[in-house]
Structure formats: structure tokens, C-alpha cells
Amino acid sequence: MQTTFHPASSRGHANHGWLNSYHTFSFAGYHNPERMHFGALRVLNDDTVAGGMGFGTHPHDNMEIISIPLSGTLEHRDNAGNHGIIRSGDVQMMSAGTGIAHSEKNHSRSEEVQFLQIWMFPNKRNVQPRYDQQSFRAEERHNQFQQVLSPSPDDAGVWVHQDAWFHLADFDAGHAAQYEVKKAGNGVYVFVLEGAATVAGQTLGRRDGLGIEDTDAFEVRADANARLLLMEVPMSF
């Protein structure tokens, strides 16, 4: 097993007033040649957007883009006619494919929205752009791994053009579970949203991240009440 620890304090940071963003991997003005990506996982941004503000319409292509709200309400629009509003407990995905222009804005004029902006390299280029969002029940991630993303439209969660699986988990203090890697050769990036946990023997606190590879399973144990996001992605793509 090989692990890479990224403490929360080591992330890139940009505060634009309307946007306060922490970057686990190189992004925009933050460039770290040792933090370009983890396998197919290219971007993991922890964003807070002020009320009434947001990202204006801008283009993407050939990227799988996932948004996971942590608090507040996020509003999506794109030039394919899609319009969605997502809240904590929802997951949004967009396959940019041949090209799409979209905006992501705070739906509230008074309250902040906090969300994770995640980009993955796809396993197919120039696909038809696609948008989806789903809501997930909190009780189905209590002391278990709740699948929220997969490679298949017939499996649980939203689906993407990549051999990737995402899980959310809300663990009570002391609870432990074994995560089993879905596909040989994949790695898992574990991000602690709240609380503290010991993952594959590494102690993690709030917003710490741990990349795990060269294993088919590892243990996740909550040292305090903990909310976690596990992102399994190909290491070669």
C-alpha cells in the first residue's frame, strides 16, 4: 500500500472576496508540480461563494465535473438548456465532452453556499455533453458507504465517463468499516469533510486528504463523528 497525505493547511488558497477557495491540486493561480492530480482526479476545490454571487457562464470540454454542496444552495444553468438547484445531500455532474458553457451561482442572495468542485479526466473524449443531479438520503450513509457516483447508469448514483466510484459516509465516533476497491489498479482519495478519522493507518482531521494506492482494501475508523468523501479513480488513464 502506498499513501500520500495532504494536510488541509498545505492546500492552495485564493480569496477573491465573493469566492474563498482552497485547492487540493494545482488550479488557477496555485501551481505545485507535485500536486497536479491523483490519477484521473484533477481538481478538488473547496469553495465558499457569497450570497448573490457565482461563476458566470464559461466553457469546458472533455472533463467530468462534479459539484457536491456542503451547505447552502447552488444554481446551475448551461447552454444545453439545463437548469438545476442543488443542496446538501445532492450531487451534480456534467460531462463537458465536445463542449458546454455553464454557470454555477449561489441561489441565495443572503446566505453563503459551500460546495466541492471536482474535475476528473474522462475515459472517452468528445462525448455528447450531459447533465444530471440526484438527491441522496442521509440515513443511507450513516455508518456505511453510500455510493453517489459510478461508471454505469444502471448503478447507484450519477454516472460518469470514467471507471470511478464516489462514496459519502457519516460515521459515528468509534465506528470502523473496510473499504474495498472496486477495480484493480484504482486508487482512492479520501477527504475528511468534518470530524476526524484514521484511514489506512493515517490520522486525518477536517479537510485533510489522503491518497491510497496499490491495495485492494483499507480500514476507515472515525476518531470523532466524521463525514467523509471517498473518490476511487483509475491511477492510469
Residue 142 has pLDDT above 90, yes or no: yes
Sequence spans of domains, the chain:
12-125, 142-234
- The number of residues making up the chain comes to 237
pLDDT bin (cut points 50, 70, 90) of residue 114 is very high
Report the top-level CATH class of 12-125.
mainly beta
Task: Tell me the CATH number for domain 142-234.
Answer: 2.60.120.10
**Selection from 215, 222, 151 nearest residue 4 by Cα:** 215
Averaged pLDDT for residues 108-123? 97
The pLDDT confidence band at residue 237, using thresholds 50, 70 and 90, is: confident
* Mean of pLDDT values over 98-108: 95
Confidence of residue 156 (pLDDT cuts 50, 70, 90): very high
Q: In angstroms, how far is CA 67 from the centroid of its own chain? A: 7
Cα 179 to Cα 12: distance, rounded to the nearest angstrom = 29
Is 142-234 in the same CATH topology as 12-125?
A: yes
Nearest one of 158, 137, 138, 188 to 65, comparing CA atoms? 158
- Element of type H or E holding 158: strand 158-159
For 50-87, how does the pLDDT look when each residue is reduced to its tens digit (9 = 90+)? 999 999 999 999 999 999 999 999 999 999 999 999 99
Q: What's the grid cell of residue 183?
A: 477495480
Give tens-digit pLDDT for 20-55.
999 999 999 999 999 999 999 999 999 999 999 999
Place 232 in a pLDDT band, splitting at 50, 70 and 90. very high
* Nearest residue to 191 via CA among 118, 82, 132: 118
pLDDT value of position 89: 94
Rounded distance between C-alpha atoms, residue 118 and residue 42, angstroms: 8
High-pLDDT (> 90) share of the chain, %: 100
Please give the pLDDT value at position 65: 97
Q: What does the pLDDT read at residue 61?
A: 97
Pairing, β 146-150 against β 158-159 = parallel
